[in-house]
Amino acid sequence: MASPDTATMGESLEQMQARHRKEQRDLQSRITNKKKNATKKTRKFINDECAELERQLKERQEGELRTLTGEADEEAGADEPEDVHQPPEPAEDTTTTTTNAAAALASQLQSTTLSASPSPSSSPDLQRQEQQQQQQQPHPQQQQQQQQQEQQPRPKRNRQKERLARRAAEAAAAQAAAASEAAAMPDRRAQEQAAMQRAFAAHALREHPIAPDGHCLFAAVADQLVVNGLPLLPLAVGGSAGDDDNGLGQDGHKGETGERGERGGAAVEDGLRPRVQPYKVVRRAAAGWIEAHRAEYEPFLEEPVEGYVARIRDTAEWGGQLELSALANAYGVEIRVVQGAGRVEVIKPSAADGDSSSGDGRGEGTKTLWLAYYRHGYGLGEHYNSLRKAE
């Protein structure tokens, strides 16, 4: 803001009044901003400061007006020529005129400055803002509670618990996703069962269940041999010398007191010694054929023939395509396997053209053994059942 001396230099009365009005508007803008930014604690100080600024501006502008008016009167008196014939006017008239002009200008300035713009404190918007600020100010008791809470030490983060909780949440999300995916997947077990039942009906077969204990293929073949009237001990393996050791009769069947059980002829005691389980005889037949024809089966094995044959013969090792081929050749029979999609896999003896080393059904025509092969129907995995003619 310019000083009175520099502001009044070469300035007319109208220019000074315009400058004064601009200074008043600027001051009112400053006062409004100060009051808007005032808080409850600083409001009284801001109001006093604003009043002091208004007072200083008013005094300065009145002084500038008085100064400008006095200079104008002096210049007017200097421009008038002295009239020697006119007597000088009394000095008190000039003084009275100057005083009256200054009073009139001061009254005009007061009416056109601070009273021209309304006080910000009386504005409804400003009052509303002040009320909102007062409402937003927290209660002293609340401030004290907040300060106490901020001063209290915060609990230390347990990052290990956070990691465990995050992993548990991820595992739960993965389980939920897996369950949702499983619910959307087709029921393969039901589909397989439906296809198998249609195939059974098409071939006039009924299912005879076999225990899922690892011996199911050999037990199902044993059941089919008994149903078709074929001996459990094949001639091709050369087991005539061991018939008595196997607990079988001279014709390869069980004694008359034997009763066929769940595995296609479970052995019972005949009063002398326990019978051999039929599935064990079938296992030995498959192992003997593979061992006797190792050149045909060795390319399909990932281990030495001796070790593989021992596992097939003496353990609960699962049987598969190799064992079915060996049994078809050992017993001279055709094995048909109904699979999950209803397709029938046919396994014929490789020596069916008259090779005397193959079993030939004891001189009878080649007979057919029917098996059912499941991939999804049992919880332990793949399984074989025996299929008998429907009555």
User: Is residue 249 very low, low, confident or very high in pLDDT (cuts 50, 70, 90)?
Assistant: very low
Is residue 288's pLDDT more than 60?
yes
Paired strand residues for 383 = 374
DSSP 207: E
Which of left, alpha, beta for 10 (phi over 0: left; psi -120 to 50: alpha)? left
**C-alpha span between 23 and 113 (Å, rounded):** 9
- Residue 371 pairs with which residues in a beta bridge? 337, 386
Q: Which residues of 351-381 are buried (b: 16+ CB within 10 A; e: fewer)?
A: beeeeeebbbbeeeeebebbbbbbebbeeee
Tell me the pLDDT of the chain averaged across its residues.
76
Nearest to 248 by CA among 225, 226, 231: 231
Nearest to 359 by CA among 279, 285, 253: 285
How many C-beta neighbours within 10 Å does residue 191 have?
Answer: 13
Tell me the three state secondary structure of residue 211.
coil
75-97 burial: b if 16+ Cβ within 10 Å, else e: eeeeeeeeeeeeeeeeeeeeeee
CA distances from 265 to 20, 189, 336 (A): 125, 29, 21
Q: According to the model, what pLDDT value does residue 58 have?
A: 93
Mean pLDDT across 185-207:
89
- The phi and psi torsions of 342 (rounded to 5 degrees) equal 90, 0
The pTM of the full predicted model, rounded to 2 decimals, is 0.48
Q: pLDDT (tens digit, 9 = 90+) per residue, 250-263?
A: 344 443 333 333 44
Asked whether 361 and 325 are in contact (CB, 8 A), the reply is no
Q: Which of 344, 302, 305 is nearest to 326 (CA)?
A: 305
Reading the block at residue 343, the tokens are 């397709």
Which residues, in sequence order, are CB contacts of 275 under 8 Å at separation 6+?
247, 248, 254, 255, 258, 267, 268, 269
Which residues pair with residue 205 across a beta bridge?
Answer: 389
- Distance between CA 149 and CA 145 in Å, rounded? 6
Query: Has residue 114 got a pLDDT over 80?
Result: no
Q: How far apart are CA 46 and CA 31, in angstroms?
A: 8
The token pair at 41 is 């604690």
Please list, in sequence order, all residues whose beta carbon lies within 8 angstroms of the beta carbon of residue 340, skipping any fewer than 6 positions away. 192, 195, 196, 373, 374, 375, 376
The pLDDT assigned to 358 comes to 44
Cβ contacts of 349 within 8 Å, gap of 6 or more: 328, 329, 332, 333, 334, 358, 359, 366
More confident residue, 34 or 143: 34
Q: What pLDDT shows up at residue 186?
A: 75
48-52, 340-344, 357-361, 386-390: range with lowest mean pLDDT:
357-361
3-state helix, strand and coil shares in percent for the chain, rounded to the nearest 5? 55, 5, 35
Q: Residue 137: helix, strand or coil by DSSP?
A: coil
In the chain, the largest separation of any two C-alpha atoms, in whole Å, equals 183
The confidence band for 115, taking pLDDT boundaries of 50, 70 and 90, is very low
pLDDT of 159 higher than 80: yes
pLDDT band at 236 (very low <50, low <70, confident <90, very high): low
Would you call 387 helix, strand, or coil by DSSP? strand
Phi, psi (deg, nearest 5) at residue 372 = -110, 130
